[in-house]
C-alpha cells in the first residue's frame, strides 16, 4: 500500500519522466514480488501465516527441553553440587574432629606432664624430708651419746678429783705424821693429825 502510494505520488510529480517512472514501477514490482515470494509480503516477524507453525514447534521443543532439564540435567547438576557441598562439609567435619582429637591429646599430655611433675616434686620432697629427718635423728643420737660420754667423763673426773682430794688428805696426814716424827720424835695420834690437817686445809 505504502509502495503504491509512493509510486502514485512519483508519477504525478514526475509525470514527464515516464521512462524513469516505468523503471521505478518495475523495480517496486520486483520488490513486491520478491517479498511476496516469502509469504504475504509483510515484515517477516509479523507474518501471521507462520505463527501457528512456530507456536507448535516452540511448544514441542520447549516442552521437550523443559522435560530434559527438569528430569535429567538439573538433578544431575544439583547432585554434583550437593555431592561437592557434602564432601566439603564432611572434610571440614573430619578436620575439626581431628583438631579436637589433637587438642584432647595435647590436653592429656599436658595433664600427664603436670601429674608427673607433681609426682616428681612429691618424691623429691619426701626424700628430702626423709634425709633431713635422718640427719636430725643421727645428729641427735650423736649429741646424746656425746653428752653421755661428756657426763661420764665429767663424773669420772669428779670421781678422780674427789679421790685425789681424799688422797691429798691421807698423804698430808702421812706426811705430817712423818714430819712430826722426824721433828719431835714422838708419836702423835692419828686423830690429832687428821684434825690438824683439816684445820690447815681450810
Partner 1 sequence: MAGDKVDPVHQFVVNKIIPIEIGGIDFSFTNASLFMVATLVVATCFLYFTTSTRSLVPGRMQSVSEISYEFIASMLREGAGSHGMKFFPMVFSLFMFILTANMLGMVPYFFTVTSQIVVTFALALFVIGTVLFYGFYKHGLGFLNVFVPSGVPGILLPLVIAIEVISFLSRPISLSVRLFANMLAGHITLKVFAGFVASLGTLGALGIGGAILPLIMTVALTGLNSSCPSSRPMSLRC
| Residues of the shown chain interacting with partner 1 in the complex, contacts defined by CB under 8 A | 31, 34, 38-39, 43-47, 49-62, 64-66, 68-70, 72-74, 76-81, 83-84, 87
Write down the least CB distance from residue 47 to partner 1, Å.
7
Write down the least CB distance from residue 79 to partner 1, Å.
7
Write down the least CB distance from residue 55 to partner 1, Å.
6
Query: Exposed, middle or buried, 173 (CB in 10 Å: 0-12/13-18/19+)?
Result: middle
C-alpha cell recorded at residue 163: 679421790
Write down the least CB distance from residue 104 to partner 1, Å.
31
Pick the closer one to partner 1 by CB: 19 or 43.
43
Pick the closer one to partner 1 by CB: 15 or 44.
44
Amino acid at each position: 500500500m505504502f509502495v503504491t502510494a509512493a509510486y502514485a505520488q512519483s508519477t504525478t510529480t514526475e509525470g514527464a519522466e515516464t521512462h524513469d517512472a516505468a523503471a521505478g514501477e518495475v523495480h517496486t514490482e520486483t520488490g513486491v514480488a520478491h517479498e511476496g515470494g516469502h509469504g504475504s509480503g509483510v515484515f517477516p516477524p509479523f507474518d501471521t501465516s507462520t505463527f501457528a507453525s512456530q507456536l507448535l514447534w516452540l511448544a514441542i521443543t520447549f516442552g521437550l527441553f523443559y522435560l530434559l532439564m527438569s528430569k535429567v540435567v538439573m538433578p544431575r547438576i544439583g547432585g554434583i553440587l550437593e555431592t561437592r557441598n557434602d564432601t566439603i562439609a564432611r572434610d571440614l567435619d573430619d578436620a575439626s574432629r581431628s583438631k579436637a582429637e589433637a587438642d584432647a591429646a595435647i590436653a592429656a599430655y599436658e595433664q600427664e606432664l603436670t601429674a608427673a611433675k607433681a609426682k616428681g616434686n612429691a618424691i623429691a620432697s619426701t626424700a628430702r624430708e626423709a634425709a633431713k629427718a635422718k640427719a636430725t635423728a643421727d645428729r641427735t643420737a650423736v649429741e646424746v651419746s656425746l653428752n653421755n660420754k661428756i657426763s661420764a667423763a665429767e663424773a669420772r673426773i669428779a670421781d678422780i678429783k674427789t679421790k685425789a682430794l681424799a688422797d691429798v688428805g691421807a698423804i698430808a696426814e702421812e706426811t705430817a705424821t712423818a714430819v712430826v716424827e722426824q721433828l719431835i720424835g714422838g708419836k702423835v695420834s692419828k686423830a690429832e693429825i687428821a684434825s690438824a690437817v683439816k684445820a690447815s686445809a681450810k
